[in-house]
Amino acid sequence: MEINKVTSQAERRKRLLTFAGLWLFAFLILVVFRSVVLPFAGAAIIAYLVAPLVDRIARIPIGKRTIPRWVAILVIYAAFFLIVYVVLTALIPQIYREMARIVREGLDLVNSLTPDRIQEIAQRAEQWLIDHGVPVALSARSLEGGEGVNGATTPVMMSVDLETLIHDLAARFSTSLKENLSDIFSVSRSIATAIIASIFMLFFMLMVAAFISVDFRRIKQYCRTLVPSEYADDVHFLVRRIDRSLSGVVRGQITICLVNGTLTFIGLVIFGVKFAFLLATVALLFSLIPIFGTIISSVPIVLIGLSQSWKTGLGMLLWIIGIHALEAYVLNPKIMGSAARIHPLVVAFSLIAGERSFGLIGALFAVPIAAIVVAFFDFARVKVQGESAADPVQPERPRATG
- Chain segment 320-346, per-residue pLDDT in tens: 888 888 877 777 666 655 545 677 777
Residue 70 in any domain: the answer is no
**DSSP state letters, 278-323:** HHHHHHHHHTTSTTHHHHHHHHHHHHHHHHH-HHHHHHHHHHHHHH
For the ranges 42-46, 149-153, 180-184, 297-301, the lowest mean pLDDT is seen at 149-153
For residues 374 and 368, is the Cβ–Cβ distance under 8 A? no
Question: CA angle at residue 49 from 47 to 54, to 5 degrees?
Answer: 70
With a CB cutoff of 8 Å and minimum separation 6, the contacts of 77 are 206, 210
248 with 332, same domain: the answer is yes
What is the C-alpha separation between 342 and 324, in angstroms, rounded? 17
**pLDDT higher at 60 or 363:** 60
Q: How large is the average pLDDT for residues 14-24? A: 79
For the ranges 118-122, 212-216, 263-267, the lowest mean pLDDT is seen at 118-122
- Chain segment 95-110, per-residue pLDDT in tens: 777 777 777 776 676 6
262 with 391, same domain: the answer is yes
- Give the dihedral sign, CA 379/383/389/392: negative
Q: pLDDT-derived band of residue 389, with 50, 70 and 90 as boundaries?
A: very low
279 with 173, same domain: the answer is no
Residue 97 in any domain: the answer is no
Strand (E) or helix (H) holding 369: helix 344-384
Last residue of a domain, one of 163, 182, 201: 182
Residue 143 in any domain: the answer is yes
Residue 343 in any domain: the answer is yes
Residue 66 in any domain: the answer is no
Question: CA angle at residue 253 from 250 to 257, to 5 degrees?
Answer: 135
142 with 254, same domain: the answer is no
- Dihedral angle over CA of 340, 345, 351, 354, nearest 10: -100
121 with 262, same domain: the answer is no
- Chain segment 234-254, per-residue pLDDT in tens: 888 888 888 877 776 777 778
What is the C-alpha separation between 24 and 324, in angstroms, rounded? 43
Q: Is the pLDDT of residue 382 over 80?
A: no
Residue 62 in any domain: the answer is no
What is the C-alpha separation between 329 and 103, in angstroms, rounded? 39
CA 41 from chain center: how many Å?
16
**DSSP state letters, 182-250:** HTHHHHHHHHHHHHHHHHHHHHHHHHHHHHHHHTHHHHHHHHHTTS-GGGHHHHHHHHHHHHHHHIIII
390 with 245, same domain: the answer is yes
242 with 174, same domain: the answer is no
Last residue of a domain, one of 121, 148, 182: 182
Count of domains for the chain: 2
Start-to-end Cα distance in the chain: 45
Q: Is the pLDDT of residue 145 over 60?
A: no
Q: Is the pLDDT of residue 392 over 80?
A: no
160 with 238, same domain: the answer is no
Could you give the 3-state DSSP secondary structure of residue 61? strand
Q: pLDDT-derived band of residue 391, with 50, 70 and 90 as boundaries?
A: very low
256 with 166, same domain: the answer is no
CA 168 from chain center: how many Å?
35
At 374 the pLDDT is: 83
Q: Is the pTM above the cut of 0.75?
A: no
Q: Which domain holds residue 124?
A: 113-182
What is the C-alpha separation between 365 and 346, in angstroms, rounded? 14
260 with 378, same domain: the answer is yes
Residue 73 in any domain: the answer is no
Last residue of a domain, one of 158, 182, 206: 182
Q: pLDDT-derived band of residue 167, with 50, 70 and 90 as boundaries?
A: low
The amino acid occupying position 159 is S
For residues 335 and 252, is the Cβ–Cβ distance under 8 A? yes
Residue 281 in any domain: the answer is yes
Question: Counting Cβ atoms within 10 Å, is residue 29 exposed (0-12), middle (13-18) or buried (19+)?
Answer: exposed
- Chain segment 169-178, per-residue pLDDT in tens: 767 766 766 6
At 330 the pLDDT is: 74
235 with 144, same domain: the answer is no
With a CB cutoff of 8 Å and minimum separation 6, the contacts of 134 are 157
At 136 the pLDDT is: 65
243 with 171, same domain: the answer is no
At 395 the pLDDT is: 42
